[in-house]
Amino acid sequence: PFPRICEGDCAVLKRDDVFKAVPVLRRRKIIFEKQWFYLDNAIGHIYGTTFEVTSGGNLQPKQEVEETTTETKAAGTDNRNIVDDGRSQKLTHDDIKALKDKGIKGQEIVQQLIENSTTFRDKTEFAQDKYIKKKKKKYEAVITIVKPSTRILSTMYYAREPGKINHLRYDTLAQMLTLGNVHAGNKMIVMETCAGLVLGAVMERMGGYGTIIQLYPGGGPVRAATGCFGFPKHFFDHLHEFPLSKVHSLLSGTFSTETLPAEAEENLLVEEESNGLADEKQTSPQETEEEAAAEAAMESNQTEEQETMDMSAEDAELKEHKEKEVKENVRIFTEKQRKQWERRKKLLETAALLKEKNADGLIVASKFHPTPLVLPLLEFVAPSRPFVVYCQYKEPLLDCYTKLRERGGVINLKLSETWLRNYQVLPDRSHPKLTMSGGGGYLLSGITVVLEKGRADSSHLEELKMEEPSSKRCKVQELHC
């Protein structure tokens, strides 16, 4: 069963180290790396196929060509006699443009550039190699279509839109999945504001086995990146969502579905999100777009229906039953109610899952201060389970570390960061790449243990909000460190 590119898929375009996620649609113009083309011809090919862009924006599978080695192989030994007079290339800008306009293959243009370079033969072998690579990159426009994965999407997001994922570098995400022991069968709690990338990564590692509860701020979870993974439908069967604004009431026992998150605020947020993600909308697959549209529609329905909000579930059912007999416009009305009722039912189910307090792990990666998230959310996690908290900045994690120590119920707390260095490996030219990423965020990880009663009382939420620990406490901590 070769994975083939199908219409409606979410695919990733790749040119060298540049990625872009696109929905595979017929007669849809795609712009990538200053080129435009259509994906129509790519449909039916195997993922991993490399294509050339031909005139009219068509894609044509690239044939493997034997490298036409420059005939003589003459090369210089050093650059003592190479002078930069700006006239080594005998082809002018206009000549090159003319070649391009004639539709001549990039490979041939590169060959012509080499032949018309007076200094090429005097360059060292290595310099020649570098020259060819540079020209190839510019004139030989090949793109590879690959299947999305956490590896590809996390690399893509970090390079293209780091702001949307709170600068979570891909190696840091890799640490989170491992430190969190994310695997099939887990019951995971995920709180992220990384466009759904972290959620997608967790879903990939769980392979559709187990349960995920996503906690979201505002009106609904953002899953633009999740959509890019192209997960099969059944992966969403055990994906639940729960509003962050309901966590406190759930913990204090006052939870009810009577007051859902403020609808007005909800719409505002959705709008804001869709504006911010204007570019992303294009890169996300059709499926997500449809989903988003459906969600948006659902949400606007809710606004209209604010008055019916306080109706109990049974009432809704009863009313639905009665109104079935009534005319067309009312039918639509009850349809909305049915959705509302279903939404509440789901919320109750998710609340029940959380209330079991037996989650197998907690993953936090958000734009919010981690402390007020982690302390209450850990209540939902079983003992002897790992948790991982990401933050772009180190300082909030210092605070979180301190507060967790005060709370108790956690061991093996570790504040860490990874550095990632890429290498150029070529015969006699191996060295670290010139530039490396300055930072990919920080992680605070640990393991939960049974929280003892005495300490549990002292860790009451109100007390945890206390900003300044007493000096005595500080000293005790220092001893602990």
Partner 1 sequence: MSFVEYGDTIKDGDTAIVFLGHESMFPVKVQHGTVTQTKYGVIRHSTDLIGKKYGSKVTCSKGGWVFILHPTPELWTMNLPHRTQILYSTDISIITMMLELKPGSIVCESGTGSGSLSHALIRTVAPTGHLYTVEFHQQRAEKAREEFREHGVEHLVTVTNQDVCKNGFGVSNIADAVFLDIPSPWEAIGHAKSALKTEGGRICSFSPCIEQVQRTCLAMEEYGFTEINTLEILLRVYNVRTVSLQIPDLGKAAEDNSSIGFDCSNPSNQGSPCPNLQQGTVQFKSSVPLREMVGHTGYLTFATKS
User: Is 177 a binder of partner 1 (CB under 8 A)?
Assistant: yes
Of positions 330, 383, 460, 465, contacts partner 1 by CB under 8 A: 383
**Exposure letters 316-346 (e unless 16+ CB within 10 A, then b):** beebbeeeeeeeeeeeebbebbebbbeebee
Select 31 or 184, whichever has its Cβ closest to partner 1.
184
Of positions 20, 135, 164, 205, contacts partner 1 by CB under 8 A: 205
Q: Give the separation between CA 212 and CA 194, rounded to whole angstroms.
A: 16
- Please name the residues in contact with 154: beta carbons below 8 A apart, sequence gap of 6 or more: 165, 168, 170, 173, 197, 201
Note whether 381 and 190 are within 8 A (CB). no
User: Is 379 a binder of partner 1 (CB under 8 A)?
Assistant: no
Note whether 142 and 62 are within 8 A (CB). yes
User: Is 171 a binder of partner 1 (CB under 8 A)?
Assistant: yes
User: Is 463 a binder of partner 1 (CB under 8 A)?
Assistant: no
Kindly report the number of other CB atoms within 10 A of residue 370's CB atom. Answer: 25
Note whether 207 and 234 are within 8 A (CB). no
Residue ranges of alpha helices (H) inside 141-285 are: 150-160, 170-179, 197-206, 224-228, 247-252, 263-276, 278-283
> Tokens at residue 162, please?
């780091």
User: Is 387 a binder of partner 1 (CB under 8 A)?
Assistant: no
> Of the ranges 88-96, 115-123, 323-331, 465-473, which one interacts with partner 1 (CB under 8 A)?
465-473
For 386, the enclosing helix (H) or strand (E) is: strand 386-391
Of positions 264, 268, 420, 461, contacts partner 1 by CB under 8 A: 420
Q: Give the separation between CA 156 and CA 184, rounded to whole angstroms.
A: 25
| Amino acid letter, 312 | S
User: Is 289 a binder of partner 1 (CB under 8 A)?
Assistant: no
User: Is 421 a binder of partner 1 (CB under 8 A)?
Assistant: yes
**Exposure letters 108-123 (e unless 16+ CB within 10 A, then b):** ebbbbbeeebebbebb
Q: Cβ 244 to partner 1, closest distance in Å?
A: 22
Contact code string over 338-377 relative to partner 1, x by CB under 8 A: --------------------x-x-----------------
Of positions 83, 184, 326, 461, contacts partner 1 by CB under 8 A: 184
Phi, psi of 80 (to 5 degrees): -65, -30
Select 166 or 175, whichever has its Cβ closest to partner 1.
175
Contact code string over 429-458 relative to partner 1, x by CB under 8 A: -x----------------xxxx-x------
> Of the ranges 159-167, 218-226, 276-284, 422-430, which one interacts with partner 1 (CB under 8 A)?
422-430
Q: Cβ 90 to partner 1, closest distance in Å?
A: 33
Phi, psi of 144 (to 5 degrees): -110, 140
> Of the ranges 257-265, 276-284, 314-322, 410-418, which one interacts with partner 1 (CB under 8 A)?
410-418
> Of the ranges 26-34, 290-298, 337-345, 418-426, which one interacts with partner 1 (CB under 8 A)?
418-426
Contact positions with partner 1 (CB under 8 A) in 90-119? none
Name the residue among 232, 231, 230, 158 with its Cα closest to residue 195.
Answer: 158
Q: Cβ 402 to partner 1, closest distance in Å?
A: 6
Name the residue among 173, 171, 201, 175 with its Cα closest to residue 188.
Answer: 201
User: Is 423 a binder of partner 1 (CB under 8 A)?
Assistant: yes
How many angstroms separate the most distant Cα atoms in the chain?
94
Of positions 6, 46, 264, 293, contacts partner 1 by CB under 8 A: 46
Could you say which DSSP state residue 86 is in? Answer: S
Contact code string over 117-156 relative to partner 1, x by CB under 8 A: --------------------------------xxx--x--
User: Is 183 a binder of partner 1 (CB under 8 A)?
Assistant: yes
> Tokens at residue 271, please?
């709008």
Could you say which DSSP state residue 367 is in? Answer: S
User: Is 173 a binder of partner 1 (CB under 8 A)?
Assistant: yes
User: Is 382 a binder of partner 1 (CB under 8 A)?
Assistant: yes
Report the DSSP pairing between strands 386-391 and 142-146.
unpaired
> Of the ranges 72-80, 127-135, 299-307, 471-479, which one interacts with partner 1 (CB under 8 A)?
471-479
> Which residues of this chain interact with partner 1, rule CB under 8 A?
2-3, 46, 48, 149-151, 154, 170-171, 173-175, 177-179, 181, 183-186, 204-209, 358, 360, 382-386, 394-395, 398-399, 401-402, 411-412, 414-423, 425, 427, 430, 447-450, 452, 467-469, 471, 474, 477-478, 481
